[in-house]
Amino acid sequence: MKIAVIGAGAVGGFIGGLLHRAGENVTFIARGKHLQVMKTSGLKITSKIDTFTVYAPFHESIEMIEEADLILFTVKSTETSNIIKQIKPYVKRDAVILTLQNGVDNEEVLIEHFGIEKVLAGSAYLTSEIKNAGHILQQGKHSIVLGSLTEESKGVAAKVKEIFVRSNIHTSLSDNIINAKWEKLLWNVTFNPLSAVSEATVKSILENHHLKTIAEQVLNEALEISKKVGIVLPNNIVERIFMKASYARDHQTSMLQDKLNGKPMEIESLCGFFVRKGKELQVNVSILQTLYSLLSFMDRKELRV
């Protein structure tokens, strides 16, 4: 199976690197200084287990995906629509697209352009960052949960899982991947927006009474939205989310990393989504609205929009 990684950043680069190391045919699509370093020196991946360097085809040109059987779609949600327009002419008829992005709204956009039978959904549970251009640092354990969106594509999802497991990527299948993605989204909305506003690590949020109280209020608002849209979650979902947070205490959330690096933050998928749903469903999301307004102002100020 030929695999293309679109967005060889912290998530795509790490997953693609493990696939390539296991012998899979992987092409990486990236840009900027990160791409230039990878083209000359390879992609260095450091984890607690080991450090290795990936020497693979690294390209900027989207055309290089035209022979791919599996496309790992790992760009930031802020880039989803733009990248879809770029790749659409080159996605072959029988290719499958696996999104490992944050949020639960990227699937809808991909389905609109490619059809539900070509889209697989997944959640990446891993703590990674681009330490320097061409160097990805991954900390702690990692796991991938993926699944099909139709009965007909279950076999494809199972095949992708086999490839991932064979590549030492801890992967499981979910019979209801959208519910599984919602659980991750709830974690993200609890900690990402607040960390970006306060520039606090997950540890600081957990240990500061005021910040933790806000995090709890955000989660309660988001949970009310999830109930309204019919998402079935475990009874102990609050405990699960804060337990997972305790495992990533020293982690800078992805939104905070983007802010500190002067990149656009995933405000719409990780915060704006709930604000819009709150208005639509008449649910009070005043805390989320405040965070959303502050982040939108910060993002525009930083990017001088």
pLDDT band at 300 (very low <50, low <70, confident <90, very high): confident
Q: What is the CATH number of the domain that holds 128?
A: 3.40.50.720
Regarding whether 213 and 98 lie in a shared domain, the answer is no
Regarding whether 200 and 167 lie in a shared domain, the answer is no
Domain stop point among 120, 152, 175: 175
Q: What is the CATH number of the domain that holds 209?
A: 1.10.1040.10
Q: Is the dihedral of CA 82, 193, 33, 76 positive or negative?
A: negative
Regarding whether 151 and 9 lie in a shared domain, the answer is yes
> Which range of residues forms the domain containing residue 98?
2-175
Domain stop point among 175, 190, 209: 175
**pLDDT tens-digit map of 236-272:** 999 999 998 988 787 889 999 999 988 899 999 999 9
Domain stop point among 175, 202, 221: 175
Distance of CA 228 to the CA centre of its chain: 24
Cα distance from N-terminal residue to C-terminal residue, the chain:
42
* Predicted pLDDT of residue 302: 61
**pLDDT tens-digit map of 270-295:** 999 999 999 999 999 999 999 999 99
Regarding whether 207 and 150 lie in a shared domain, the answer is no
Alpha carbon distances (Å) from 158 to 57, 125, 155, 165, 300: 26, 19, 5, 11, 42
Regarding whether 61 and 159 lie in a shared domain, the answer is yes
pLDDT band at 139 (very low <50, low <70, confident <90, very high): confident
Domain count, the chain: 2
Q: How far apart (Å, rounded) are the C-alpha atoms in residues 46 and 127?
A: 12
